[in-house]
Amino acid sequence: MKCTEETGATVVGSLVCQYRPVHTIVHCAGGDYMSPEDYAKFVKGEPTVSPVEGAKGKWQINEKTYFQNRKVEEVRDRLRREPTGFVEFHSMLVRTELFDRIGVLDEGFSCTKEYLDFCMSVVQAGGSVYLEPASVVTFLTHPPAPTLQWSDLPYFMVRWSDNWERQSLIHFQQKWDLVENKYFQKRLKKLGWRRREEMIHPIVERFNFLNADSQKWIEKRLVKLEKLINRYVSQQHDRTVQTSK
């Protein structure tokens, strides 16, 4: 509140940490997605990619989250209240009148990059995004968060499905007329990483009495099987949604 009152910021994000002990490991301390020169043009709506370069799109992005996985103590002297390219939805203060200008959140983003889309919309509407590290929160993602239960799987199989993640990335690229660069290529290759982390890895860990090669063998086959199951679950969900319309 103090930050937005003193700076006039439209959006303010906390320093977000992860894991236990709380407030010790950085998850997000703001970030950027363009060089300062390109960002200045983006804010004005000016393209930064020339058509003669042979790339389709007005802008290129390469998301960078500051100090992620670093200890807070190691970077404390570099954490200060300042404008930033983006903050994440884990802890965010927004002036409600902003939504009169940009509308509600875009539901085309079903599982990823919604925070980038939001912050990009804010600055193009004339608003500002600030990091305020005096506000600190910790969210318990991954261990030591409770492991998924069997009853959780249908929801997260869809929520983290390859289909939803792919659609979100494509929607993001097309909405902002972004170049299909390594940023998108890398993320499309990593489809399903959340499911591997939360569903496959806990199973593989039960075989820790085996050597590394044997564990990798098991993991590869579980990933392949899970991909098939995920495709089936996603298709069934899509059919259910279509039928209910």
| Inter-helix orientation angle 36-44/114-124, to 10° | 70
Average pLDDT score over residue span 139-168: 87
Q: How far is CA 216 from each of CA 50, 202, 205, rounded to the nearest angstrom?
A: 44, 13, 11
Average pLDDT score over residue span 65-74: 97
Which pLDDT belongs to residue 148? 81
- Enter the tokens of residue 230: 């995920």
Rounded-to-integer distance, Cα 193 and Cα 31, Å? 22
Q: Does pLDDT of 18 surpass 70?
A: yes
Q: Is the distance from CB of 71 to CB of 24 less than 8 angstroms? A: yes
pLDDT tier at 173 (50, 70, 90 boundaries)?
very high
Report the candidate in 169, 219, 162, 227 with the shortest Cα–Cα distance to residue 191. 162
pLDDT tier at 52 (50, 70, 90 boundaries)?
low
Which pLDDT belongs to residue 54? 62
pTM of the model: 0.92
Q: How far is CA 183 from each of CA 84, 108, 192, 213, rounded to the nearest angstrom?
A: 20, 19, 16, 30
Q: Does pLDDT of 20 surpass 70?
A: yes
Which pLDDT belongs to residue 140? 85
State the chain's mean pLDDT as an integer.
94
Which pLDDT belongs to residue 150? 87
How crowded is the C-beta side of 128, counted as CA atoms within 13 Å?
13
State the DSSP H helix or E strand holding residue 30, giving kind and residue range, or none if neither.
none
Pairing of strands 11-18, 129-139: parallel
